[in-house]
Amino acid sequence: MTVRPSRLNGSLQAPPSKSCTHRALFCAALADGKSEIQSPLLCDDTLASAQALSKLGVTALWDQGNVSVTGNRELKKPSSEIFCGESGTTLRFMTAVCATTPHEVEISGGPSLLRRPVADLAIALHELGADCMSNQGYPPVHVKGPIRGGSVKVPGNVSSQYVSALLLVAPLARKPLEVTIAGRLESKSYVEMILEMQRKFGVQVNANDDLTEFHAESQTYRPSDVRVEGDWSSTAFLLVAGAVAGEKVRVGGLTQETLQADRYLLEVLKRMDARVSTDSSSVTVENSRLEPIEVNVSDSPDLFPAICVLCAATDDFSTITGIRRLRIKESNRVLAMSNGLKQMGIETRESENSLTIWGGKPHSAIIDPHRDHRIAMAFGALGLCTDGVTIVDAECVGKSYPSFWQDLRSLGADVIAR
């Protein structure tokens, strides 16, 4: 895709939340009976979860904006390897789910997923009674349950998906299960999201106030009907586009009372003096003269590429901290954003846990997003205020936001498919 200079104006609806859709699919899969998930996100990652679960005998029928899931607590033995595409959530959740069955299962994925760590989760499941082996800490994973319960400790600064995966299956253990977090739990809200989704499916996992200790008794998931809210993570790129190249951009379908970590973008925009307003279900952003910022993204790492775009559009230097884990996402996002910005004439300086960006006037470039959906969307937004940016492999946005380029066009962006 080539994105040319544009002024955005208009309204659209936020895409559904990927994180909520994943969690609803897995909770529904573990309930005996039929659940209805309203307004789910249909994208590469959520399809990967549905297809992986189908290998265990779970059916998911997508129809007219909803998905009906028929779960089965007696999960069947898969006839072949379970392939998770490029979805880290699918990999970690499936590893834990398969550890509750007596079947030997191999779980693998695409090229970037094979570089995503799984060691601490595999170790925890092994300590809980499952046979779980990885390839030197990475997929493919070989797992066979069941888990018996007991106590386990996991680090809080590698991936919150480890914690969420363990909590997902904790009620299915034969005995009570306790999870303790070593150090500070980063991306805490993603763990809160699994706890909330479990409650909707009749399961209660108890936690202390700072989410460092969890306790679950043996319980049974019950079928439920749930609605998926709008996705603050994907919407971030539309709001950023509005701030750097918009007249007025309004995005609806965004719940203000949300557990999603990436609502934090509102605070970032306000701290940068962006012209932003909200009501109970929408956010409006207008073209703004942005001020530099120092911001920590350890609890909302998916915002990093979007915030880089905001920083590049200022007239001074900004520093983003809390970036250590971003090197083990779909790509090394720190390197991908730093190199891409340099190609566009924006100076950056990287340390172990921070990136400093000297804002200015970005110029045209050909950007390789390294098959990373959030990198592609970030440079798509930044391209609006340049003399033209071409993004190769632009279809990688299908991982989380398949209609991104179409939605950008609907707001007036000059986007040309090459």
Q: Give CA–CA dist 342/363, Å, rounded.
A: 10
How many beta carbons lie within 10 A of that of residue 416, not counting itself?
Answer: 12
* 189 three-state secondary structure: helix
The amino acid at residue 335 is L
Burial of 157 per CB tally in 10 Å (0-12, 13-18, 19+): middle
Dihedral sign, CA of 35, 36, 40, 46? positive
Which residues are identified as catalytic?
Answer: 302
- Residue 21's φ and ψ, nearest 5 degrees, are -65, -45
Q: With DSSP H G I counted as helix, E B as strand and the rest as coil, what are the percentages for the chain, rounded to 5?
A: 35, 25, 40
Dihedral sign, CA of 40, 231, 94, 214? negative
| Closest by Cα among 217, 144, 139 to 174 | 217
Residue pair 129/175 in contact (Cβ under 8 Å)? The answer is no
> What's the order of all strands across the beta sheet hosting 59-63?
59-63, 66-71, 33-38, 225-227
Burial of 53 per CB tally in 10 Å (0-12, 13-18, 19+): buried
Q: Give CA–CA dist 91/141, Å, rounded.
A: 9
Owner of token pair 């007025």: 248
Q: Give CA–CA dist 381/394, Å, rounded.
A: 13
Q: Give CA–CA dist 285/239, Å, rounded.
A: 6
Q: Give CA–CA dist 210/213, Å, rounded.
A: 8
Q: Give CA–CA dist 107/97, Å, rounded.
A: 11
Burial of 165 per CB tally in 10 Å (0-12, 13-18, 19+): buried
The amino acid at residue 12 is L
Q: Give CA–CA dist 223/169, Å, rounded.
A: 16
Query: Token digits for 68?
Result: 């009906």
